[in-house]
Amino acid sequence: MNAIITPSTPSEPCLDGNGLTIGIVVARYNWDITGALLQLAQEELKLLNVAEENIHIVYVPGAFELATAAQAMLCNGTYDALICFGCVMRGETRHDVVVSDAAAQGIQHVALNTHVPVIFGVMCAQNQLQAQARIPRGRECARAAIELANTIKSLNKTKV
Beta strands in the chain (DSSP E): 22-27, 55-60, 81-89, 118-125
DSSP string, 109-141: HHHHHHTS-EEEEEEEESSHHHHHHTTTHHHHH
Q: Given 56, 95, 109, 115, which residue is catalytic? A: 95
Residue 56 appears among annotated catalytic residues: no
Confirm if 23 and 75 have CB atoms less than 8 A apart: no
Q: Active-site residue numbers? A: 95
